[in-house]
Amino acid sequence: MSEHDERTFVMAKPDAVQRGLIGEIVSRLEGKGLKLVAGKFMRIDEELAHEHYGEHEDKPFFDGLVEFITSGPVFAMVWEGDDATRQVRRLMGATDAREAAPGTIRGDLGNDLGHNLIHGSDHEDEGANEREIDLFFDDEELLDWDRDASTWVY
Ligand code: RTP
Ligand code: MG
């Protein structure tokens, strides 16, 4: 991990899994030059959903959000790169997929406010990265690796 690199938590939500868009989401982050350091295909249970979305516990949409995020498998990931948290949020687009700019994942592919395909740690929430990575992954699941283009790319 070089000096300016940071790690950020990302998740393909149940709608992305159901619609067969895991690969597309991974591809967009890879294409931007971010590096995958962890990935896990899993179900989020009620308890994890409450912890992960704890900041929204008092909001009227909380129960629906928990129901959605626990409705089927998700693909949880950790991505690394320079300013990775902000980069991912830019690639994701605005929360409401109907308003998200074309060119973004949500803008191009997402359906609406609730079904917006992807979660990324909030860059405005100090420490959200570490907190969410810790919640979903053990330390040994985060891989340190270097790209070695000389070996495999001709
Ligand atoms: P996320 O946490 O899922 O990456 O999304 P976000 O940062 O862009 O948006 P956030 O404000 O954290 O909201 C979390 C999720 O709650 C749903 N939501 N519903 N009905 C509503 O007013 C409302 N507001 C937010 C969205 O699905 C959003 O992804
Ligand atoms: Mg959020």
pLDDT, average across residues 96-120: 98
Sequence-ordered alpha helix ranges (H) in the chain: 14-18, 22-32, 46-52, 62-69, 84-92, 105-109, 128-136, 149-152
114 Cα–ligand 1 center, Å: 7
Domain topology for 5-142: Alpha-Beta Plaits (3.30.70)
Is 119 noted as a catalytic residue in this protein?
yes
Q: How many angstroms separate the CA atoms of 50 and 58, rounded?
A: 11
List the one residue out of 37, 56, 53 whose CA is nearest residue 45.
53
Q: Whose CA is nearest to atom 2 of ligand 1?
A: 119
* pLDDT higher than 70, residue 13: yes
* pLDDT higher than 90, residue 126: no
Q: How many angstroms separate the CA atoms of 9 and 139, rounded?
A: 13
Q: What's residue 154's pLDDT?
A: 64
Q: Ligand 1 pocket by C-beta < 6 Å: which residues? A: 56, 61, 65, 95, 113-114, 116, 119-120, 122
